[in-house]
A = this chain, B = another copy of it.
Amino acid sequence: MRSAPVTIKDIARALNISISTVSRALRGMPEIHADTRAAVMRLAEELDYQPNQLAKNLLKSRTRTIGVIVPNLSYYYFSAMLNSIEEAAMQAGYSVLVCQSNESYLREATHIQNLLRSQVEGFIISLSRDTDNCEHVERLVRKGVPVVLFDRYSDTIAADKVIVNNHDAAFNATMHLLNNGCQRLAVLAGPPQLLISNERLAGYRAALASAGIAENKAYVLHCDFTPERTRLQTTALMKLPEPPDGLLTISDRIAFTALFALKERGVRVPDDLLVVSFNNEPLCDFLSPSLSSVSQPIQEMGMETVRLLLRQIEATDTDTYVPETKVMGTELVIRESSQKR
């Protein structure tokens, strides 16, 4: 049998005392008589009383809750970031409401709206693939709602950011491929509206330029994180009259599918083609050949996003606030896929 939840009113009535006494007893206020407190506690325990968080939050106008919006939790990077964000938030006494945009602008905007209505005190966001207009987030910032972006950020948003130097990371990864003998270097980038993809692309180009290699436009293809598209683009690359002998992919998701497509076509990695990727998912180790990949300090990034957000939330004067961008270091983890044997 289901019944309405127990309230302090129920306890008060049963004990024939006032609700304020119950409230005080429950919260261990010192002025309450020991006997009264004991009786209240006993009954609360017996009835399995659970304080109504809604009522508390409404009264205090504080929820100590932060909204997190990520593209998709089945990407390792985001679920790992969520873990570290949750941990840091919990330590600080905040809880987390997680939403997935599923790479859709519309869902992202809807989630922001809903989280706002649920009175979250701030947002940690990594933008969706299809978000080319950031008006929805900019409005948040304009309203003074604390926002921190990570990874998938945008230039136009005046919020705190926790990112890596995508340009330099891609530059280094590309140089690594060049140094290992690649002559024809291709790249599987993300969708063109994704800033981090473009930054990585720029790093790739800078590396080519620094090595005095002219860019071959046919070697630069865009993917959208769907296996179908990646497969198509990989095949397109290898069908070129001069197929590449080196490949940079801007995400492990893309690399996994690409490696699969390559194997199907009989392209041997690293013998025929060297590969370097981004994100350093745990699986990189398990693949054969194992996959070289750029790692981000997920643990630190999660802590940093929370730190920046709480700084905003707990700031007394919000007028003098200047958004900060924290650039974290990356590491190129070199494995079998990027070294000739």
Residues on A lying within 8 angstroms of B by beta carbon are: 1-5, 48, 50-55, 57-58, 61, 63, 72-74, 76, 79-80, 82-83, 86, 95, 97-98, 100, 102, 113-114, 116-119, 139, 143-145, 256-257, 259-260, 263, 283, 285-288, 318-319
Contact = CB atoms under 8 A, between A and B. Distances in A.
A79 B119 CA distance: 26
Contacts of A98: 98
Contact of A2 (B102, B145, B260): B145
Contacts of A144: 1-3
A116 B50 contact: yes
A284 to B, nearest CB: 11
B117 A51 contact: yes
Contacts of A113: 50
A166 B116 CA distance: 43
Contacts of A73: 73, 79, 82-83
Contact of A119 (B54, B80, B259): B54
9 contacts: A1-B144, A1-B318, A2-B143, A50-B116, A50-B117, A51-B117, A73-B83, A74-B76, A79-B79
By Cβ-Cβ distance, the 5 closest A-B pairs, closest first, are A2-B144, A74-B79, A53-B117, A288-B288, A2-B318
A97 B97 contact: yes
Contacts of A139: 48
A119 B4 CA distance: 11
Given A2-B145, A98-B98, A144-B2, A52 B48 contact: no
A97 to B, nearest CB: 7
B286 A52 contact: no
Contacts of A79: 72-74, 79
Given A53-B114, A287-B287, 6 more contacts: A3-B144, A53-B117, A54-B57, A74-B76, A74-B80, A263-B288
Residue among A1, A4, A63, A72 with most chain B CB within 10 A: A1
